[in-house]
Amino acid sequence: MHPVSIASRSRLRSSVPYMAGLCLVLLLAACVQNPVTGKNDFLLVSEDWELQVGAQQYAPLRQQQGGDYITDTKVVNYVRSVGNKLAAASDRDLPYEFNVINDSTPNAWALPGGKISINRGLLVELNSEAELAAVLGHEIVHAAAKHGARGQSRSVGLQAGVVTATLLASNQGYNAQVAQMASAVGAQLINSQYGQGAELESDLFGMEYMSRAGYDPQGAVELQQTFVRLSQGGRSSTLERLFASHPPSQRRVDENRATAARLPKGGFTGEREYRSAMATLFNTREAYEAADQARVALQQGDTRKANSLVQTAMRIEPRESLFHSLAGDIAMSQNNLNAAKQSFTKAISLNGNYFYNYVQRGSINESQRNNDAARADYARSVSLLPTATAQLGLGKYAEGRGDTQVARRFYSMAAQADNTVGQQARQALVRVQPDSNSSSDNALMVTQGLTRNGNFAIQIVNQTSQKIGNIKLGVTVDNGRQQTLGVKQQLLPGEKRLIETGQKLTTSQANRVKVVVLGADVVRR
């Protein structure tokens, strides 16, 4: 078997060395003035990169974390109105967006380009509009001051065209799915720790944005006091994700208090307005707590308790799609597929823009041989967030109708999963090869990029169920000159291997190189 190039599948950030003079020009050009602080920052990524990453990653990351909260549009519109007031007062004009994620974990995050999310679970921890403004203002500064871009310049991870990632939704009790993200960058950014300097900077300028927008900056002081109290009061496990990326400290309280003293006194606090806008969330808080407990019970195998708790949740808030989805998971664990499908259908009717319900209903339809319905569900789920389960299913249906080219494409993506679904996909790839001795672009997946120390690296993945050896890669510079790189070691089925070249490059250089598979052989026993 001699696989051919799959470079067209690799939208990658990698490169080969250029002239030292050109590198110097690129590095000097990377020193830019920060629009928030006015200081010169050393950046290896452009504003176009920020805007592209934010636009590409925003929707998939929200899907990964539970989807958007849509049960009460008043909540979402209120958050957006506060966010837009602060964005208008910021130092950088970006296409800001604000959304509420349907997750009980208190958290908030920002992507480059001004894409900001706050979890439902954090909204019920706040007490006023000024505190909400403090959270959103803080996140706006992370985007406006290029903190994410700065972090990428310090430590650019391997940025692959297609990367598998286990869904964060699994921490909510869902069956773990494997998502194919357009890039690993987004997940790295929202899970990174900015560092104390960036956090204090975001507090400082976020409070200035609050003051400009007419809010009482004292809300930021009260917010940090609340977080410090919660972190010391035995609830740190509940707030672990928030505190991991936004660590509270008495120093932040003191710094915020000093900043508030320098800013104009007074401003809007909005305690009553906040309670009114968030009334649905506060009134249904027990429903979400019951659902969270139901997920734990389901994980522990206590389906009776789980079902009782989810029924309680649905009685309190019958409009919440999430609860019907959980009821579907419980029914599936009891092998009651008809009841499960009914629950997922209800969940979809309440929220038709969350991938998970389509994946689950698709798997039920597949097991019941409702092929057209399963294919439609899988296709809809992939349009929201590609998963290995759905891609494997779509590959099977393409293979069944004789479209082996489409089948190989879906199997190839699903084969990256490091689980039984990926194993099935790798086996299917071997099955749909036109000839075991002919060329194929599905044996090896190649991605390329920069490691954390800035070295150009290539990652190869054996997508078959057989050993692959005698691998030869071609690295082509934009001038057309190609170098051959041989990989001596064999790759086991499903194995991934990272090859570092030792060449330090910038991300702009990385965009002008292609890596292709020149040849590889199946190792016969």
Using a 10 angstrom Cβ sphere, with 0-12 exposed, 13-18 middle and 19 or more buried, the burial of residue 268 is middle
User: Does 302 map to a domain?
Assistant: yes
- Which pLDDT belongs to residue 1? 28
- Which pLDDT belongs to residue 499? 81
Alpha-carbon distance of 441 to 462, in angstroms, equals 11
452 or 141: which carries more pLDDT confidence?
Answer: 141
- When computed from its CA atoms, the radius of gyration of the chain, rounded to whole angstroms, is 25
User: What is the pLDDT confidence band of residue 525, given thresholds at 50, 70 and 90?
Assistant: low
272 & 393 share domain: no
Q: Which has the closest alpha carbon to 208: 122, 129, 133?
A: 133
Q: What is the pLDDT of residues 198-229, one digit of tens each?
A: 788 889 999 999 999 999 999 999 998 888 87
Q: Which has the closest alpha carbon to 493: 404, 422, 436?
A: 422
What's the pTM value of the predicted model, to 2 decimals? 0.77
109 & 258 share domain: yes
Average pLDDT on 314-332 reads: 97
Alpha-carbon distance of 498 to 462, in angstroms, equals 12
- Specify the range with the lowest mean pLDDT, choosing from 134-138, 180-184, 270-274: 180-184
- Specify the range with the lowest mean pLDDT, choosing from 60-69, 106-115, 135-144, 502-511: 502-511
User: Does 73 map to a domain?
Assistant: yes
Alpha-carbon distance of 385 to 59, in angstroms, equals 9
Which residues neighbour 56 within 8 Å (Cβ) at sequence distance 6 or greater? 182, 183, 186
Domain that holds residue 478: 7-13+443-522
Q: What is the pLDDT of residues 460-502, one digit of tens each?
A: 878 777 788 888 887 777 666 677 888 888 888 878 888 877 7
User: Does 26 map to a domain?
Assistant: no
394 & 460 share domain: no
User: Does 20 map to a domain?
Assistant: no
Using a 10 angstrom Cβ sphere, with 0-12 exposed, 13-18 middle and 19 or more buried, the burial of residue 239 is buried
372 & 461 share domain: no
Is the pLDDT reported for residue 70 higher than 80? yes
- Which pLDDT belongs to residue 107? 87
Q: What is the pLDDT of residues 87-103, one digit of tens each?
A: 999 999 999 999 999 99
- Specify the range with the lowest mean pLDDT, choosing from 155-169, 208-222, 439-453: 155-169
User: Does 407 map to a domain?
Assistant: yes
- Which pLDDT belongs to residue 164? 28
User: Does 27 map to a domain?
Assistant: no
Q: Which has the closest alpha carbon to 465: 414, 516, 397?
A: 414
Using a 10 angstrom Cβ sphere, with 0-12 exposed, 13-18 middle and 19 or more buried, the burial of residue 381 is buried
- Which pLDDT belongs to residue 301? 96
CATH value at residue 507: 2.60.40
246 & 109 share domain: yes
290 & 272 share domain: no
Q: What is the pLDDT of residues 234-262, one digit of tens each?
A: 554 455 555 555 666 788 899 999 999 99
Pinpoint the alpha helices (H) of 163-217: 185-190, 196-212
- Specify the range with the lowest mean pLDDT, choosing from 51-65, 381-395, 405-419, 440-454: 440-454
Cβ atoms within 10 A of the Cβ of 121, count?
23
- Which pLDDT belongs to residue 134? 96
Average pLDDT on 444-461 reads: 73
User: Does 177 map to a domain?
Assistant: no
CATH value at residue 308: 1.25.40.10
99 & 238 share domain: yes
Chain centroid offset of residue 43 CA: 23
Number of domains in the chain: 3
Q: Which has the closest alpha carbon to 79: 126, 43, 45?
A: 126
Is the pLDDT reported for residue 347 higher than 60? yes
User: What is the pLDDT confidence band of residue 34, given thresholds at 50, 70 and 90?
Assistant: confident
425 & 480 share domain: no
Boundary of a domain, candidates 280, 309, 342:
280
Q: What is the pLDDT of residues 277-306, one digit of tens each?
A: 999 999 999 999 999 999 999 999 999 999
Boundary of a domain, candidates 222, 253, 280:
280
384 or 482: which carries more pLDDT confidence?
Answer: 384
273 & 292 share domain: no
369 & 512 share domain: no
312 & 362 share domain: yes
Boundary of a domain, candidates 265, 280, 295:
280
User: Does 163 map to a domain?
Assistant: no
365 & 458 share domain: no
Token look-up 């079902």 returns 307
User: How far apart, in Å, are the Cα atoms of 51 and each of 188, 222, 267, 500?
Assistant: 16, 33, 33, 29
Considering the chain, what is the average pLDDT of its residues?
79
Q: What is the pLDDT of residues 175-191, one digit of tens each?
A: 333 333 333 444 555 55
**Would you tell me the crossing angle of helices 388-400 and 404-414 to the nearest 10 degrees?**
160
